[in-house]
Structure 1
Amino acid sequence: MSTTVEAASKKQAAPKSAPRRRSSSRRDDEAPLIPILARKVREVEAKAQRGKLGPTNRVKFQVIAFLVREERARVKADQQLTDASRAEQLKRLDGVATILAKTAARDTSLIQLLEVDQATSPVAKRMRRDWLIESGAELAPDELIITDTAPATPTVVPAALADRQVTPPQIEARKESNPFLAPDLTTRSTAPTPRRRLDGWELMGPLYKAFETGAGGGAATMDLPEVPEFDRLSPKGLEVMAHQSRFLEAVRDGHRSFLLADEPGLGKTAQSVLAASVAGAYPLLAVVPNVVKMNWAREVQRWTPHRRATVISGDGDDIDAFADVFIVNYEVLDRHLSWLGDLGLKGMVVDEAHFIKNLTSQRSQNVLALATRLREQNRNPLLLALTGTPLINDVEDFDAIWRFLGWTNGEKPGPALMERLDATGLTPADKSFYPEARAAVISMGIVRRKKKDVAADLPDKLIADLPVELDDEYGRSIRQAERELGQRLADRYRRIIASRSHVDLGPGEIDDDIVRLVAHNELEESKAAGTGSENVFTMVRRIGQAKAQLSADYAAQLQRSVGKVVFFAKHIDVMDAAEAHFAASGIRTISIRGDQSTPARQQAIDAFNNDPEVGIAVCSLTAAGVGLNMQAASNVVLAELSWTAAEQTQAIDRVHRIGQDEPVTAWRIIAAHTIDTKIAELIDSKQGLAARALDGDAVDPQSSDSVQLSALMHLCRQALGAA
């Protein structure tokens, strides 16, 4: 265990008997902690309104709740307060408590954080102490000292998965042929980690904030070496592009952990394969979506033909245990954790790394446990997180990726990042800390290039909306159902307003917090109900079904005039209807779906790219939205809209990739006069988060509410006459 002391403790030298508060006749001087709690609880409330709270704000919620409890007890026991002053302070504390309760109603998982033994982590204790010091409290020395608990080392195979572990027969043969792992002879420092100036500060929240505000501007890309004079990496017949070469030179210079966040289509797979070659990081493990396993094996063969790759499927009975690169999909990783953890891996790549953003998922825990084992076995393993869309809903989506790379442990920065933050000479109390902190994290290995900056020969893409009118009986029933849903939301809103006599609204004025609460409750009920009742999900699906014939007809016309077309839909029945229409029109198609085997999917992709008789690829948004190369087409039809901007971007970028030599156009088919129009608008508005956090663009902040929640809020306002 190591002991850390807040820098601010140097400013506070108080005997143990010092009183907690200094008396004053001014309102906030009598209770200086209350305005701090009020400000902090509003910050947590704002986050809760936008979706699931991240780890930092969950801790903040804990600390606010316990300080409210402590402050309430202090106020009641303070004999120096007048009755009026005591009543006023208790009323203000009740206001903070009310917001806490309202926030917990939005995210019921917060309720368990109120247990007495919950706010005991070093991060919570440190946050509590910092707020008390900010309020002017005089703390005893034992309250200034925060003791960090040693982090628990996760086991690679959790007990719940122990019975599922398999060991492919060939792996046994590999172990018998070489029963000993090659020792890591690099020097390891045995000196204790020196205490740093920032050890006592809560830093994760400020780090997220630095990215959320785009502090300092500029693209999130570390300084990279210049393009070398000679291309020493490309195999015969291939050529590494300039932006790829600069990344690989950073690997050659010794950098080993990267968040490679290049926009989709800029060759992240090829860069990773070559990075492993440059670093000698074999055996290498690539954890990838199932849909791209075959493509990964091909890229290994293409860019490093002297290396062997093997794809792990099922129990891995047919793998090549002596391969250099092991490729496994997320879904089957859980049964291979044991032998992969003992294989002596020297590198690990996580493709579409935003898949691990949910830290509570087994998928995320499996990946993080293997990464921890790599760091135990190697002093400096190659760790690559690949994703063109690292941020989906919130800046704290970075959390799992940073943990995988070893930059943080979730509660605080790791030693290397802490050293860089400490070198700034600043603290989170300094405004200039935030651009410096963002730059420090970027220097750890974030690489983000945009197509327009690094691939001048890659054509721009255009997203064109095609409104269609659903003027048949089915379309009219959809619009009627939409009006009924909006009216249901409006009725709930009016009932809540009527029950709250303290809500004072002017003519035509609407309480947005109550609108959000009504929409949130409807969304949760819809998720629970599934397809059993009329809700926002069934409504959007019905819209997709209504558009299926119109979308397919447009795609068929487009194919006849421009050649190959990629047709994306979200639901199987929409894909089925489209394929039937194309068959009736005499157009040959291939299909990419989630239930296909990897060889069948790759065969379909090859047919689309290489067979001139195949005119349209009918693809599932979820099954074909990542990792596929379909640049034989330059036109995409989006028959159904996604719920996220990232999913839409990923789909379009199956065509807008390196190797594309024509301008790319994505045609969004949108049902006019329905919620479809609003969803398209909301998807476009979500582009601002990544532009602000990763690209440093001066984009106005947009709500980070989910598209579903925002769409329901729109319906409610529309029904109330204030759309």
Structure 2
Amino acid sequence: MARPGQRRTGARRPAPRNQRARRPGDVIALLAGTAREVEAAAQRGRVTPAVRTKFHAVALLLRDERARLRAEANGAEQLKRLDGIAQILATTAVRDTELMALLAEDAVVSDATRSLKREMLRTVGIEPAPEEAPPPPPVATTPERRVVPQSVVTRQLANPFLAPDFDAYAQRPATRSRRLTSWELISPLLNSFERAGSGDSACMALPAPWELRRTSGKELMAHQARLVAAAADGHRTFLLADEPGLGKTAQALLAAEAADAYPLLVVVPNVVKINWAREAGLWTPHRPATVVQGDGDNIDGFADIVVINYEVLDRHVGWLGNFGFRGMVVDEAHFIKNKTSQRSQHVLQIADRIRSRNPRPLLMALTGTPLINDIDDFRAIWQFLGWIDDSKPLGDLMNALEDTGLTPADPGFYAAARQCVIDQGIVRRRKVDVAADIPGRRVADLPVELDGPAGRSIRAAEKDLARRMVEQYERARTSDGIDPELVRRIAKAELKDAAKTTGENVFSMMRRIGQAKSGLAADYAVQLARSAGKVVFFAKHVDVMDAAEALFEKQGVRFASIRGDQTPRARQKNIDAFVDDPDVAIAVCSLTAAGVGLNLQVASNIVLAELSWTDAEQTQAIDRSHRIGQTEPVTAWRIIAAQTIDARIAELIDSKAGLAARALDGSDEEVVPSADVQLEALVALLTDALT
């Protein structure tokens, strides 16, 4: 043992941190662990500024480490590990456009990112080299990225006379403040809905429908026409809270037509954005609609209807407020229930700008679930509609409260106050209330746009499949023009050799489309569950079911899983949970394994996340809910990937449904030949490519 004061012979004093040997393995392990943390946060939908900072720091360190290892002779194995981390970053970035932007070489590096990068290096014992001081920020900075599409600029230059209509302000009713001036009224108004009895109506008085058939040739249901008549009579604010399946989209579009509320702004969730444009083409074909994608580079600035999703609203809020809209519709309005959120603040800001230019705009909040957590969820919606501000009722609502002659201290105030709010424009109908208006069973198509790398990859794969068949056709053709028989032979050969083909085939294409649609379909199922109760979610492939269940779990929605690989006991346990437990909101079912032999009539809404190959299989799935004992009309929401082979197959399935009607029900409907859907899809794809 060494004596006191004597240096121990084999011991070394730790080297200073900046003199320690560089350990690339430690750096790579740190990068891998941090990348996994970011990936997990993105999968949970929690991509906060801190997560983005961490993502960017990992990307920068990975770039530096890759450059260093490429200069070394023995760095091949480490480079493979870095490639794996890069793959994690790339797949994570697909979930968030801001993360994708951080992978660019010229992405701006924030002070927080620089600091975190240096701290991560120090964690593994590497002293970072001194950095040059970043250039000072420009004097004029904005906290958010804002864009103005060029077509909007063109519209503004073409029509600079979008001044406010000041003469119309004389028509706005002044608030007649008297006895209620000193009372706090927002809480009593909210409490008036909590005190209501279960049988009390929550629907304003609506006029009789005066017109059912529209100029578009489509016919409204009676309950839809009554709301349109109210807009035609001059009512301008609506909280339309009808249950899903009762046609809120058509009501909003035609209310705007009746009120001449164009141009019209429609703010929607991403999953229904394309469907809104489609519905506008059906109900108001003379009103051009445009959909804002990303920065809006391709929008029509002269359109009457502008559809935008919540996720990109932040970058467009500036020009939207000054566009001159005379109407605004907010779909799934419970998305703005949190007034502190950015999306809520942007919606309220745009609505205020519209009111400042037009004293009587059409404002409509659409939601089957106006209340999710508690009665306070009403606040943001009421404020969007202009019924209240942060502290008090406004305009017509305040006057109506004054006209009751009551104060919150009077026993009859709460019932009267609730009715005053309802009369401002709350419209709530259930399926059972208007069952005579709607069919007992219907299929509603919901087209969705597959954005991002997944969508581009699917469309590219579809083109490759078509190109391969075109090459085969060109080698075999013997005459000019399109030979239908040769087209069919080529399609049959492609279908026969699908399993042997190294590239994409019709089966792998449909599976990839199902995977790409899974998140959108699951998100829509959550909206339905929160709006109308229990939902049955059907998918063909296990990975689509897995993806949907992961989203349900992330959003705190309880579900039951019914699959083909379950034991009879496990299967029955899940069925019983969905049927008997009111907290189990969604049944996730295999289209093939759960399409028969089940009674799921506790649900009247079905989501078909993937298409079957036959109408019979689709009908069997719908009939799990549409059966004897069902008391409500059943709606099957079929999620269809627009502008892909998915849409073609949906059309073919529908055409074959006529064959079943003729064979089994004696229908006189003209039907197409009974051909295999897979073959007909390939025939259509090849024919279009040749054309």
Question: What TM-score, normalized to structure 1?
Answer: 0.45
Q: Which has the larger radius of gyration?
A: 2
Question: What TM-score, normalized to structure 2?
Answer: 0.47
| Higher-RCO chain (CA-CA 8 Å, sequence separation at least 6) | 1
